[in-house]
Chain A
Amino acid sequence: MRCVTNADGMLSADGVLGGNPLFYFIYNAVGHVAPCWLSYLIAGLVIMLILINAVLLGAAIVSWGERRLLGRFQNRVGPNRWGPFGAFQPIADLAKLITKEDIIPYGADRLAFTAVPVIMVAAVLLGTAVLPFAKDVALVDLNVGVLFVLAVSSLTSIAIFTAGWASNNRYALFGAGRAVAVLLSYEVPVVLSLLGVVLVAGSMSLGDIVAAQAVPFFLVQPLAFFVFIAGMSAELNRTPFDVAEAESEIIAGYHTEYSGIKFALIQAAEFGGVLVVSGLIATLFLAGWAGPLADWLGWLWFLIKTFIGIFLFVWIRSTYPRLRLDQIMAVCWKFLMPLSIINLAAVVLEVFFLRDANGSLSTADLWIMAAINIALAGGSILFFGRFIREKVRTDAHTAIATNPVARGASTIGMG
């Protein structure tokens, strides 16, 4: 049985893979000679193959770019031996890691230990499924896109914990405990900041959110932008929030025991995570594929904005020293939480008063919101920054003695 065609001779695959033009093309080309399910399968697999390779290659580029940039920030050279500006360094790294011995420690839970790198890479790859790379080009434009990204990123926490537990290593367990404490706490302000974005856009679909950004949301909701970047730095275990793999304290945290190809996969997941989160920042706050000139140039604007996100992360990483675990908790609950709640309250009020009869906002409304919210962001960051500075200066010992969060933290290696 062949595929049924519609009036203009095209096969109908509307919506399933969100109008991806390449998918349509392959689906139609194969569908005229093969059964429908087969052409569907082939088209889907081709798209996924391209996407997976793009993300993993992107992770390699991010790892090289991050090391080069860090080198520049720290007034040194960075990898520069192989290829132009050392660009082939990731290939050399990968070749080295693949040829190394793949060790599973004695007493480890072999199955769980092996599953961790797979789950981590899968979680990162799943996150790319809803990213709109250009106008109407996404693998799927889910109507719950924002929630989907949050859901798949929450899979990482379980993988990290499994890594720590299955390694049968105290340092790995400490790292995992810290990582999960950080991940669970920072989930709250991140979700609250995204609520504001969803409210203004009026949709949870990433495509609609890009379309709603007549004014980019980093201007409309600077507080949400700030909280999201801080929260995502923490969720990606990056300095200043990288206690989970603080090499001066607990060797390498949850991936202490990983070596060879498994370590390479975990690294790929970490750098791929940076890539996906930067893509998400570009989509949610920097207006995604929207840009000047033609619509088909959307991929270019998206890429440029993604690289802006990556650069921001590297910049933050190279600028700030590592925080203690109790300081990280204080920053989350006493600084980012109030900021995200202020942002949400302000956005709710503004949307309530500014929206027209259809419940939509005009570009002028967005500019008004931007003006109010930028002032609000400056004021509240200054106010709560002063407040948190006093809190963070509290001596670690008094904090552990009086604060249940810090005391709980001390049992997972913070003491």
Chain B
Amino acid sequence: MWFEHIVFWVLSVVAIAGALGVVLVRDLFRGALLLATAFVAVGGLFVMMNAEFLAVVQILIYVGAIAVLFIFAVMLTRDVQQGNAPNRLQIPAAVISALLLAAMIATAVSTDWTTLSGAGLEAKAQLAQTQAVGIPNASDLTSAGLTPAEVESVSSGGLADLLIGNFVLPFEAVSLLLLGAAIGGLALARGRGR
């Protein structure tokens, strides 16, 4: 389906160009805007993978909150006009990000994706015969022969079950982390001696 291919390539190029721009552009403010652009493009990629919930949350949190906080930080930074000054940590930063990239690629390659995408691919192939364009929704998936449990596993309900079931420990750990961050931010904002 070349229509989907076009959308995929546009989104991918925008995401990668935006991410590159964040690192390469001197103007901190434009960097933050490019970051938001990259976030939106990644959200679009999530939509293409039928993960609407993830896509919407991506926009809500990363564009609506995190990018705005970055811009806030840029605004409160002194001497922004000088731009992104080069510093001495370039080589360690390059090494660390290369390691991170390697780790991510290794994880992506070694993960067993077949459980979900096998059924999904089958359903998509069947959909391609009955319906030439578009993104399948829950009723399409059901009519394409997926069991209700499999349909549920790609919806927000399934995600919620996983979060409060199998992954409850990391979930709670993250909320503790956020609480710590909030208290830390408050402590910083109040300043010393008060």
Contacts and interface: CB of A to CB of B under 8 A. Distances in A.
Interface of A: 1, 3-4, 6, 12-16, 36-37, 40, 109, 111-112, 142-144, 147-148, 150-152, 154-155, 157-158, 161-162, 165-166, 173, 177, 180, 184, 187, 204, 404, 407-408, 411
Most central of A36, A152, A165 by chain B CB within 10 Å:
A165
A155 B130 contact: no
Contact of A165 (B29, B59, B131, B137): B29
Interface string B32-56: 0100100000000000000011001
Interface stretch (B64-72, B90-98, B116-124, B174-182): B64-72
Nearest to A1: B132
A406 B131 CA distance: 57
15 contacts: A1-B132, A13-B134, A14-B131, A15-B137, A15-B139, A109-B27, A112-B30, A151-B59, A157-B68, A158-B64, A165-B71, A166-B29, A173-B75, A177-B75, A407-B189
B156 A144 contact: yes
B113 interface: no
A151 B56 CA distance: 6
Contact of B71 (A143, A151, A158): A158
B138 interface: yes
Interface residues of B, number: 38
B78 interface: no
B30 A16 contact: no
B130 A204 contact: no
Contact of B63 (A14, A16, A109, A154): A154
A141 to B, nearest CB: 9
Given A15-B139, A154-B60, A204 B65 contact: no
A158 B139 contact: no
Contacts of A404: 186, 189-190
A177 B135 CA distance: 39
A157 B63 CA distance: 9
Contacts of A3: 132
A154 B130 contact: no
Contacts of B56: 142, 144, 147-148, 151
Contact of A152 (B59, B67, B140): B59
A184 B27 CA distance: 24
A408 B73 CA distance: 12
A143 B156 contact: yes
A112 B33 contact: yes
A151 B66 CA distance: 13
Contact of B68 (A1, A4, A184): A184
Contacts of B36: 158
Interface in B1-44: 3, 27, 29-30, 33, 36
B60 A40 contact: no
Contacts of A36: 132-133
Nearest to A16: B134
Given A13-B131, A37-B3, A109-B29, A158 B68 contact: yes
B155 interface: yes
A231 to B, nearest CB: 14
Given A3-B132, A12-B131, A204-B156, A187 B64 contact: yes
Nearest to B54: A144
A27 to B, nearest CB: 10
A125 to B, nearest CB: 15
B166 interface: no
B75 A162 contact: no
B110 interface: no
Contacts of A162: 33, 71
A233 B188 CA distance: 31
A385 B47 CA distance: 43
Contacts of B75: 161, 165, 173, 177
A15 B131 CA distance: 11
A157 B33 CA distance: 12
B137 A16 contact: yes
Contacts of B129: 4
Nearest to B53: A144
B60 A161 contact: no
Given A109-B27, A143-B137, 13 more contacts: A12-B130, A15-B134, A16-B133, A16-B134, A37-B3, A144-B52, A147-B60, A155-B59, A161-B75, A162-B71, A165-B75, A173-B75, A407-B189
Given A14-B140, A112-B30, A158-B64, A147 B57 contact: yes
